[in-house]
Chains A and B, each alone.
Chain A
Amino acid sequence: METIPAIEVTDVHKSFKTVHAVRGINLHIETGKFVAILGPNGAGKTTLVEMIEGIQVPDSGTIKIMGQTWRENEDQLRKIIGLSLQETHFIDKLTLWETLRLFASFFTIGADRCEEVLEMVGLREKRKAYVVNLSGGQRQRLALGISILNKPKILLLDEPTTGLDPNARREIWAILKKLKEQQHTSLILTTHYMEEAEQLCDHIVIIDQGIILREGSLDQLLGDVEIDIPPRIAERRKVTLDDLFTALTGRHLTEA
């Protein structure tokens, strides 16, 4: 049986003045799947997801969300999508609770759901704290909370854990894992941490310089290629996505 994919991206291009940021990307994402877009800084991840989010417009190619396009169905799509941008600062002098209530009101959602979300992202005891006084990890959890307020069918998170320490990162992973068990959400997250893609996602898309290098499940990706790492290192640790990336590009994922 043919079902409509959650996201269908066909031959999408996007250029800025001097940069060809996305050059011909195709994606097919099934409902309920967790997908990682893995790539180093400047690979075009943000540009790609923001086009999927309807925030940026592709120069060419088509993007369909549950079979609908941004041009024709923006109002409906806004209601079923949840997202967090790579960097957003909320209003400093609002409390966490007030910020949630504000964003909930955009979806005509009441206090009960805000309460639920607060619980899910583990920020109950911080509800009265001003946003400006939250730690980096807490702020990211707030952004995550806001992105799931409307129980989105499709959730897009742009580098949800960049800049966080390993503990804060694992907290976010735990929330996302729970989300996967509880709801039928399709997730796209971008990251340059290979562990994040390995831990959370069914499907990993490696991109660099605006094109897809490889995609597949973790096993497929690591099994597919001959990766040339010295035997002494191979004895001590498993082959990683970074090794794959290095084999493909000669660079590392987290290189500046």
Chain B
Amino acid sequence: MKNITNHQLYQMITANIKELVREPGVLFWGIVFPILMSLGLGVAFTKKKETVTSVAVIGKNHLIRQPDSASLIEVLLRTNKAPIEITRDGKITRRLVIPDEKLGNSTFIFCDLSWQQAMVSLKRGNLSMVVDEKGGALQYHFDPMNPDAQLSYLKLSKLFGNQGVMLKPAGDDIEPLTVTGTRYIDFLVPGLIAMGVMMSSMWGVTYNIIERRSKKLLRRMVATPMKRSNFLMALILVRTLMNFVEAGLLFLVASLVFGITIQGSIPALFVLFIAGNISFSGIAILLSCNTAKTEIGNGLINAVSMPMMVLSGVFFSYHNFPEWSIPTIQKFPLTMFADGIRSIVIEGAGFTEVGIPILILSISGALMFMAGLKLFRWH
């Protein structure tokens, strides 16, 4: 007698799923496109003109002239007029500029780091090359799949090689850094997963609601005994489900093609993923609560998602932005979500590290959801 298929939540969930899978655009933009993007960007990383590359130099005090021991890298930097710079937090760095009128200058910032510190910076995308001295020659460590790092290697080795430093036969001075978690693709995939959740909530929830309002479908539905909360629940549930599939497939392809693995806690990743969905669903409901014009919806979605897509470090580290802007950028939900996924997937983090982001994302999401519901126009 009590047939589950007669239940309104069941009917609304299946209706939303059907609507989703019957729209070829959704499958392309939601699933195929992020995968293509990760493949494309992971393999070929395009280069900007003026470049600033951070290079870690392993070992203490290799950047400053020492009375007793001669450091090869120090000599090279000094002869190439790379001045010493002290950062605000007291670190010693040297800035080397290789001028090039045609292709744009390349600036290299050398800094003293331990091997461990260097690995953390690499994983965070703040660094793409590590230089080391072994047996009186320089040794370069970098991800051979990262064209950015390759180019840096070529520039540096050419400059240093022309100045009479002994170079080993080609290739001998390269130490490939293929440790999982240090490559661009490892940086990119978590960012794409976070961005996927954001875009999917924006279009799947915000746009969907506004469109239904503009077509007077919301008005028609609330003129029945339908429970309003069920309507929103079904929409959000189906999106979260879809986001799981999206993220899962993207991760699967990345692990098959690039061998990405999850270094940290999988339960923490799961909870963080839910928190990210709560956060963006909250934003989505708030954005959709009042307007019946799809053009306005379009504008709202772009106004919210574009800045985050650019600033939150989906494609490249936000540490490239001015230092003063970074604390603000780190408060964006997309930044928190992407950084959290990244720290679990590539740095091996668990609940201790992502507990705070999980709380902030869920609570702010819930608050925005409630505010949206309060202002929600059904007619």
Residues of A near any B CB (own CB < 8 A) = 53-56, 75, 78-79, 81, 83, 85, 87-94, 98, 101-111, 130
B6 and A79 contacting across the interface, CB-CB below 8 Å? no
Whether A110 and B226, one on each chain, are in contact in the complex, defined by CB atoms closer than 8 angstroms, is no
Could you give 12 example pairs across A and B, Cβ below 8 Å? Answer: A78-B223, A85-B219, A88-B220, A89-B215, A91-B15, A92-B19, A93-B23, A101-B5, A106-B8, A106-B225, A108-B8, A110-B6
- What residue of chain A has the Cβ atom nearest to residue B9's Cβ? A105
**Which of chain A's residues has its CB closest to B11's CB?**
A105
Q: Chain B interface: which size bin?
A: 20 to 34
Contact B3 A107 (CB under 8 A): no
Nearest chain B CB to A159's CB is how many angstroms away?
A: 13
**Residues of the B chain whose Cβ atoms lie less than 8 Å from the Cβ of A98:** 14-15, 18
What's the nearest-Cβ distance from chain A to residue B84, in Å? 65
A70 to chain B, nearest CB (A): 11
Is the pair B15, A94 in contact by a Cβ cutoff of 8 Å? yes
Asked if A88 meets B18 with Cβ closer than 8 Å, knowing A75-B225, A107-B225, A108-B6, the reply is no
Main secondary structure of the interface of A (DSSP, over half): loop
Contacts of B219 in A (CB 8 A): 55, 85, 88
Chain A residues with CB under 8 Å of B19's CB are 91-94
Report the minimal beta-carbon distance from B205 to chain A, rounded to whole angstroms: 15
Q: Give the CA-CA distance A89 to B14 in the complex, in Å.
A: 19
List chain A residues, Cβ under 8 A from B65: none
Residues of B within 8 A of A111 (CB): 5-6
Q: B32 contacts the other chain (Cβ, under 8 Å)?
A: no
By a CB distance below 8 angstroms, the chain B residues around A89 are 215-217
Closest A residue to B1 using CB positions? A110
A83–B223 alpha-carbon span in the complex (Å)? 8
**Chain A residues positioned under 8 Å from B6 (CB to CB):** 104-105, 108-111
Residue with the highest number of chain A CB atoms closer than 10 Å, among B6, B15, B19, B224: B224
| Cβ contacts under 8 Å, B115 to chain A | none
A102 near B224: Cβ-Cβ < 8 Å: no
Given A91-B19, A98-B18, A106 and B217 contact (CB-CB distance below 8 Å): no
Residues of B within 8 A of A75 (CB): 225
- Interface flag for B221 (CB, 8 Å): yes
Contacts of B216 in A (CB 8 A): 85, 87-89
Instruction: Please determine whether B11 and A102 come into contact, CB atoms closer than 8 angstroms.
Output: yes
Q: Closest CB-CB distance, A240 to chain B, in whole Å?
A: 32
Quick one: given A88-B215, A90-B217, are A106 and B224 in contact (CB under 8 Å)?
yes
Interface set, chain B 1-49, CB cutoff 8 A to A? 3, 5-8, 10-12, 14-15, 18-19, 22-23
Q: Which residues of A have CB within 8 Å of B3?
A: 110
Is B379 engaged at the interface, CB distance under 8 Å to the other chain?
yes
**Contact between A102 and B12 (Cβ–Cβ < 8 Å)?**
yes
B220 and A85: CB pair below 8 A?
Answer: yes
In the bound complex, residues from chain A placing their C-beta under 8 Å from that of B5 are: 101, 111
Bound complex: CA A83 to CA B226 (Å) = 14
Contacts of A130 in B (CB 8 A): 22
Chain A neighbourhood of B217, CB < 8 A: 88-91
CB-CB nearest in chain B for A146: B220
- A91 CB contacts on chain B under 8 angstroms: 15, 19, 217
5 shortest A-B CB distances, which residue pairs? A105-B11, A89-B215, A106-B226, A106-B224, A93-B22
Q: How far is the CA of A108 from the CA of B3 in the complex (A)?
A: 10
A90-B379 Cα distance, complex, nearest whole Å: 15
Instruction: Decide: B225 and A78 in contact? CB cutoff 8 A.
Output: yes
Closest to B20 in A: A93
Q: How far is the CA of A55 from the CA of B221 in the complex (A)?
A: 11
In contact, B220 and A105 (Cβ under 8 angstroms): no
Q: Which residue of A lies closest to B8 (CB)?
A: A105
A53 touching B8, Cβ below 8 Å = no
Q: How far does the alpha carbon of A105 sit from the alpha carbon of B9 in the complex, in Å?
A: 8
**Cα A89 to Cα B6 with chains together (Å):** 23
